[in-house]
Amino acid sequence: MDLQWLAPTFEAQGPLVSVTLDVSRGDESGEHEVALRWRELRRSLEEQGAPSDVLDVVGERATAPSGRSDGEGGSGRTVVAGEGGVVLDVVLPSAPASDSALFGPLPDVLPALRAAAGSTRYLLVAADRQGADLTVAVGNGVTTALADGGDAVVGTSSQVTETRTSGSDDDVIHKVPVGGIGEHSHERRVEDSWERDAAAVASDVDDLVTRHHPEVVVLTGDQTAVSLVRERLGGRASGLAVVVGGGGRADGIRDDAFGRALGEALAEVRTRALVATADSFRQARGQDADAADGLEDTVAMLQRGQVQDVLLHDDPTSTTTLWVGPEALQVAATREDLLEMGVEEPVQVRADAALVRAAVGGGAGLVLVPDARSAADAEADEDGVEPPADPGVELAGGVGAVLRWSDAGTPGTGAASMSGDGSRLRDVGA
Inside any domain, residue 364: yes
Please, which pLDDT band fits residue 73 given cuts at 50, 70 and 90? confident
Q: What is the rounded CA–CA span in Å between residue 229 and residue 129?
A: 10
Q: What φ, ψ does residue 253 adopt, rounded to 5°?
A: -75, -5
The residue among 63, 89, 116 that closes a domain is 116
Identify whether residues 223 and 315 lie together within a single domain.
no
Residue type, 425: L
Inside any domain, residue 147: yes
Identify whether residues 310 and 356 lie together within a single domain.
yes
Counting Cβ atoms within 10 Å, is residue 28 exposed (0-12), middle (13-18) or buried (19+)? Answer: exposed
Identify whether residues 85 and 126 lie together within a single domain.
no
Inside any domain, residue 261: no
* Percent share of the chain, pLDDT over 70: 74
Determine how many CB atoms are found less than 10 A away from the CB of residue 253.
19
Q: Please tell me the total number of residues recorded for the chain in this structure.
A: 430
Q: Structurally, how many domains does the chain consist of?
A: 3
Instruction: Reply yes or no on whether the pLDDT at 397 is more than 70.
Output: yes
Identify whether residues 293 and 400 lie together within a single domain.
yes
DSSP string, 3-52: -GGGHHHHHS-S-EEEEEEE----STTHHHHHHHHHHHHHHHHHHTT--H
Please, which pLDDT band fits residue 424 given cuts at 50, 70 and 90? very low
Instruction: Reply yes or no on whether the pLDDT at 172 is more than 80.
Output: no
Supply the Cα-derived Rg of the chain in whole angstroms: 25
DSSP code of residue 394: -
Q: Which domain holds residue 213?
A: 120-254
Inside any domain, residue 36: yes
How would you classify residue 267: left for phi > 0, otherwise alpha for psi between -120 and 50, otherwise beta?
alpha
Side by side, the strands of the sheet bearing 241-243 are 160-166, 131-139, 120-128, 216-221, 241-243
Classified as helix, coil or strand, 267 is helix
CB 77 within 8 A of CB 20: yes
Tell how strand 120-128 and strand 216-221 pair up.
parallel
Q: What is the pLDDT of residues 223-262, one digit of tens each?
A: 999 999 999 999 899 999 999 988 887 654 556 678 788 8
